[in-house]
Structure 1
Amino acid sequence: MIGLAAIEDARTRIAEHILSTPLVGSPTLSKICGVTVKLKLEHHQATGSFKLRGATNALLRLTKAERERGIVAASTGNHGRALSHAARMLGSRATICMSGLVPENKIAEVRRLGADVRIIGRSQDEAQKEVERLVNEDGLVMLPPFDHPDIVAGQGTIGLEIVEALPDVATVLVPLSGGGLAAGVAAAVKAMRPHAKVVGLTMERGAAMKASLDAGRPVLVEEFPSLADSLGGGIGLDNKVTFTMCQALLDDVVLLSEGEIAAGIRHAYEHEQEILEGAGAVGIAALLSGKIPPLSGPAALVLSGRNIDMKVHRNVVNGLANPFEQEN
C-alpha cells in the first residue's frame, strides 16, 4: 500500500516538471447531477495525459547509473509518451514496447520524442514479454505503466490536488485500467477525506482490473479495440501493488459501453470545450449514462488524457457510426 507520505514526497519531487492542473466547474454536469461537479484537467499536461506524473517520479527516483542504462516499458501509448518525454529531459533513453492495438497517432508521438519503439503482438501482455527480454538480455531498467510504487505515488498527487481544491469532495470518478491512477488517487483522497467515495470507470469489454476484482485475484482477459484504448491491457498475474490497493480502496467499478464513451467525448467537446480521448471521457460518460447513483455532495472527475486520433474525434463528435460499438 502506497501511503500519503510517499505521495507528498512525489509531489515535491516532480513539482517543477509537471503542471498542477486546474479543477474547474462544469455548469452543465452540475445541473444534470444537482450537485457541484468539477473537472480535473489532467489532459492539459505537456504529454496530453496524467501519465507524466508517475513517469517523472519514477525516473527521478532512479540512480544516475540506472538512468544511463536506459529504461523500458510496455505501454498502450500514454505511459510510453510520458516516459519518453521524461527520459529525454533527464538524459536517459527509452525503449517502449506496444501492441498492434495501439493507435498510430500515439505510436508516432512516442517515436517523435526519440524513443526506440517495438510493436509486439496484439496485447499488452505480449508487449510485456519483450520488455522482460530486454531487461534480461540488455540490462535495461523496467518502469511499468502502473504496477510500481513510484508510478502510483506520482499519480496519487492528483488526489492531493483534488482534495486541496475541493475540501468537501464526496465522490471522485477516475478512469481504471491497470490501476496506477485509481490506486494513487484513492490512496490520497481516502487519507485526507476518509468518507469520500472513489469509483473506477472502464470499458465493458477487456476490463482486466474489474475481472480481477470480481475473481479475487489477477486474471487474464482478452483485449479488444475500444474508443477507450488507454484502458486496455492486463494487470499482470504477478501484480504486486495496484490490485491490492484497488481491492481495498475503490468503492465501486462501473463499466461503460462504447456508445456511452462516445457520448462522453461529444459532451466534453460541445459543452466543456475540451478535446478528450475515450479514456479521458469516462467520468463524463458515467454521469450522463445514469450508472452512478445520485451524488450526495460535490464530485470531481479526472479527465485523464486528450491523445485521440483527430479523425476518430471528428467522427465521434459528428455522430458517425462507432466501429467499436458495432463489434459488441
Structure 2
Amino acid sequence: MLPLMLADVEQAAARIEGHVTRTPLVCSSSLSAFSNQPVYLKLETRQPIGAFKLRGAMNAILSLDEAARKRGLVTASTGNHGRAVAYAARELGLPATICMSALVPANKVEAIRALGAEIRIVGSSQDDAQEEVERLVASRGLVAIPPFDNINVAAGQGTIGLEILEDLPELSTVLIPLSGGGLAGGIAVAIKALMPQTRIIGISMARGAAMHAAVVAGRPVAIREEETLADSLGGGIGLQNRVTFALCRSLIDEIVLLAEDEIAAGIRHAAREESETVEGAGAVGIAAILAKKVSLTGPSVIIVSGGNIDPEIHKTIVDGVVA
C-alpha cells in the first residue's frame, strides 16, 4: 500500500479551501499547434506566493494542533517552500524560521524576509539547510514543516490533480516538474486513483536530478547539488525518504531530463508566446515539449509550478542573451 491515498488528498482539499487559490487551467494555442494535441497550462503562478508550494505548506500547518503551531515553525527550502511556510505562518499569526543554502537566489530569500520570517543561510546544499532545521527542532523545540517528504505536504500538492480532473475530465497526459516528489507524487496519487490510464511524466534538469537518480538506483541516493536555471528542483530527496520516493517509483510513468538551454527555451517561450513570467522549474514541462522529448496522444496538462525568477535573469533569457 502506498503511503498516500486519494482520501488524504480529498481531505487536504477541504482543509485548505479558502486559504489557497483555485488556479486556472488555460489552453496554450502555440503548444497545441506545436504538438497537434490540446495542451493546457495549470497556472500555479497565480498562487499568492507565485508557486504551488502554498498548498502543501498550508495543509501541513493546518493539520497541526494549536499547541504545536504555537511552538513555531521551521523548514529547509530552495525558495518557494520557504516562502509558502512564511506566508502561511503570517496568515495564521505564527512564527517561522526558514533555512536555506547559499544556492538559493537572492530574490527568493528577500521575498521570504519580507513576509517576516527568520532567515538562516547555511552551507551550500539543501542537505546543509536540513541539518540546521534538525538542530533548531532539537534546541528550540520548533516544529518542522518538510518541503516534500511528508504525507500532509504531498496531499496538499495533490489537490492540483483534483482541480485538473474537474476542469479536464478527458485528460491524457500530465507533465509535472520533478524534484523531491511532493508535487509529482501528490498529483499522481489523485489522478491515477481517478483516471489510472492517464500518463504521468516527471520533468527535471539534467544537473543533479535527485529523484531520477533514486528511481534508477531503486533507492534514495546522495547526489551533488549543482547550479541550474531550474533552481527550485535542486536538492536531494533524503536518504531516509519515507513518502515521496515510493509514490514516484510506483506512479510516474516516465522521467525526462533537460539541458540548461532547453530550460531557457521554455522560459523564453512562456514569456513570448504565453505572456507568462515563469521560473526555470516551472518551465520544464513547456521545455520538454519544445525539445520534443515527450510525445502527446491526447489532451495534456503542463504544471506551471512557479514564477519566482530573478527579473534580471529573466530578462537576459527572454532577450536571448542566455542560450
User: 2: distance between equivalents of 1:281 and 1:321?
Assistant: 15
Residue 186 of structure 1 corresponds to which residue in structure 2? Answer: 188
Q: Are positions 1:104 and 2:106 aligned together?
A: yes
TM-score normalised by structure 1 residue count: 0.97
Q: Are positions 1:212 and 2:214 aligned together?
A: yes
Give the secondary structure class of the aligned counterpart of 1:319. coil
User: 2: distance between equivalents of 1:174 and 1:305?
Assistant: 12
Residue 10 of structure 1 corresponds to which residue in structure 2? Answer: 12
Residue 59 of structure 2 corresponds to which residue in structure 1? Answer: 57
Residue 317 of structure 2 corresponds to which residue in structure 1? Answer: 316
Correspondence 1:124-203 to 2 at 5 A: 124-203=126-205
Q: 1:164 Cα deviation (Å)?
A: 1.1
Q: Are positions 1:303 and 2:287 aligned together?
A: no
Q: 1:132 Cα deviation (Å)?
A: 0.4
Give the secondary structure class of the aligned counterpart of 2:239. coil
Q: 1:55 Cα deviation (Å)?
A: 0.5
User: 2: distance between equivalents of 1:73 and 1:220?
Assistant: 20
Q: 1:267 aligns with which of 269, 275, 288?
A: 269
Residue 251 of structure 1 corresponds to which residue in structure 2? Answer: 253
Residue 326 of structure 1 corresponds to which residue in structure 2? Answer: none
User: 2: distance between equivalents of 1:129 and 1:175?
Assistant: 25
Superimposed CA distance per residue, residues 35-62 of structure 1 (whole angstroms, 9 cap, x where no aligned partner): 1000000011000000000000001001
User: 1: distance between equivalents of 2:322 and 2:88?
Assistant: 37
Aligned residue-pair number: 321
Give the secondary structure class of the aligned counterpart of 2:247. helix
Q: Does the 8 Å contact 2:264/2:322 carry over to 1?
A: no
Q: 1:153 Cα deviation (Å)?
A: 0.4
Structure 1 moving runs of 4+ over 4 Å: none
User: 1: distance between equivalents of 2:8 and 2:131?
Assistant: 29
User: 2: distance between equivalents of 1:257 and 1:201?
Assistant: 11
AA matched with 2:304? L
Q: 1:296 Cα deviation (Å)?
A: 1.3
Correspondence 1:40-119 to 2 at 5 A: 40-119=42-121
User: 2: distance between equivalents of 1:318 and 1:176?
Assistant: 27
Give the secondary structure class of the aligned counterpart of 1:265. helix
Q: Does the 8 Å contact 2:74/2:98 carry over to 1?
A: yes
User: 2: distance between equivalents of 1:144 and 1:321?
Assistant: 33
Superimposed CA distance per residue, residues 74-98 of structure 1 (whole angstroms, 9 cap, x where no aligned partner): 0000000000000111111110100
Residue 276 of structure 1 corresponds to which residue in structure 2? Answer: 278
Q: 1:295 Cα deviation (Å)?
A: 1.2
Give the secondary structure class of the aligned counterpart of 1:73. strand
Give the secondary structure class of the aligned counterpart of 2:130. helix
AA matched with 2:163? E
User: 1: distance between equivalents of 2:240 and 2:296?
Assistant: 36
User: 2: distance between equivalents of 1:257 and 1:161?
Assistant: 30
Q: 1:137 Cα deviation (Å)?
A: 1.0
AA matched with 1:85? Y
Q: Are positions 1:33 and 2:35 aligned together?
A: yes
Give the secondary structure class of the aligned counterpart of 1:210. helix
Superimposed CA distance per residue, residues 120-141 of structure 1 (whole angstroms, 9 cap, x where no aligned partner): 0000001100000001111100
User: 2: distance between equivalents of 1:284 and 1:56?
Assistant: 27
Q: 1:321 Cα deviation (Å)?
A: 3.0
| Runs of 5+ consecutive residues of structure 2 not aligned to the other structure | none
User: 2: distance between equivalents of 1:98 and 1:14?
Assistant: 26
- Aligned CA RMSD, in angstroms, stands at 0.6
Superimposed CA distance per residue, residues 269-316 of structure 1 (whole angstroms, 9 cap, x where no aligned partner): 001000000000000000000010x21110000000000000000000
AA matched with 1:7? V
Q: 1:100 Cα deviation (Å)?
A: 0.3
AA matched with 1:197? R
